[in-house]
Structure 1
Amino acid sequence: MNLHSASSNVSRETLDRLHAYADLVRRWNPRINLVAASTLSDLWERHVVDSMQVFDHADRTATTWADLGSGGGLPGIVCAILALELMPDCSFTLVESDKRKAAFLLVCKQEFALNLTVRIERAERLAPLSAQIVSARALAPLPQLLPLVARHIAPGGCALLPKGKNHAAELEAARAEWHFQVTSHVSTTDASARILALKDIQRV
């Protein structure tokens, strides 16, 4: 099994949890559309490993992590599972307005004894979380996403945002309204995709 990931140095127990999470997604997906049905056959690589690499770029000293639009827990649940072993002092807040998806996230919390809370609200209405790390996967294009990230990130914090092949155009569009420092990491699961690490996010 090729994990493509620094997180592949995790224990068998953590890997078992990740596989159990993937099984939960498969069981729930026919009732709640957690991931596109067409991607279920490639769930591990397309979604789990893709989310694990977000964790690879996280500051391991951070103690607060907010995942916006968590959906089926990608990357929030995956990162929270990895954090049990690698960032045990980090608490997660998963923001998901869909009550059925939030119910799935709560099942994951209980099943894997994760250090997280689920907020069943829209990110734009939620009181600022002041999180040291903010993540969001497949939630919105960068120009629409940055107001939400800026609302919930702590001073000096970092946003970890997986983006597809349009990442360069999204960055260019976002710079019309925002200043930020960005480090672009090539995705290990898709050469045309990037993990964008943004800091010092300020509206122009």
Structure 2
Amino acid sequence: MTTVSRETKARLECFAEVLAQWNAKINLVSPRDMRFIWPRHIDDSLQLVPMIPEGATITDLGSGGGFPGLILAIATSNPVTLIESDQRKCAFLREAARLCEANVTVIPKRIEAATPEPADIITARALAPLEKLLGWARPLLKEDGFCLFLKGIKAQSELTDASRDWHMTHSIIPSRTDPGGAIIKVSDFKRVV
């Protein structure tokens, strides 16, 4: 597990409790995943923290149960915008952010319809193939910004597919929490003309 301060750990424990309460009413994570909430979801999200500069603005796409966006807001205190189209999940995100004292703004819209200020960093986890993520991220990202996408075993094939339509600078960072997973960091990307 990523080392965090006592205060941050307490806020993450608060988040885990709120998630468990809400998960009984709305499907935020698979019920069988609840007993693995720390390694499978919280610590998976926390592995992005060392890659995030202090004060950088973050926009998280398809925030769902708060992974990784809300976890990053709790762990870094950076301002995070959470984009989620499901109104019930938005209600959960707002309540969890309030109780965990996280600096977040929740945008209850589809990603394509959201128009937040461009961010320094775009994140997403278990949302869509890389090619689609890049299309959503481009208008929401500052020119000198970058994306951090948590991916599973298909990370390399998604990069290969995306490179047909996108020029990009990228790196693959092995996941600390999923032996087959990876973090894809992408910057300087534009569509192939």
Q: Compute the TM-score of the two structures, normalised by the length of structure 2.
A: 0.96
1:20 CA drift (Å): 1.3
Please state how far the C-alpha of 1:138 moved relative to its aligned partner.
Answer: 0.8
Contact in 1 for aligned 2:55/2:79 (Cα 8 Å): no
CA contact (8 A) 1:69 1:136 kept: yes
Spell out, residue by residue over 1:2-31, the C-alpha distance to the aligned partner (whole angstroms, 9 max, x if none): x1x3xx1x2111101111111111111121
Query: Alpha carbons of 1:61 and 1:128: their partners in 2 closer, same or farther (altered >3 Å)?
Result: closer
Determine what percentage of the aligned residue pairs are the same residue: 40
Q: Which residue identity lines up with residue 39 of structure 2 in the other structure?
A: E
Within 5 A, what are the aligned runs for 1:1-204?
3=1, 5=2, 8=3, 10-62=4-56, 64-84=57-77, 90-127=78-115, 129-204=117-192
- Amino acid in structure 1 at the alignment position of 2:69: G
Contact 2:155–2:182 (CA under 8 A) maintained in structure 1: yes
Where structure 2 has 5 or more consecutive residues not aligned to the other structure, the ranges are: none
Q: Is the 8 A contact 2:14 2:99 kept in 1?
A: no
Task: Give the aligned length.
Answer: 192
| Aligned amino acid, residue 52 of structure 2 | A
The structural deviation recorded for 1:78 is 0.5
In the alignment, structure 1 segments of 5+ residues that lack a partner are: 85-89
Specify the SS of the correspondent of 1:113: coil
CA distance in 2, matches of 1:120, 1:58: 25
**4+ residue segments displaced more than 4 Å:** none
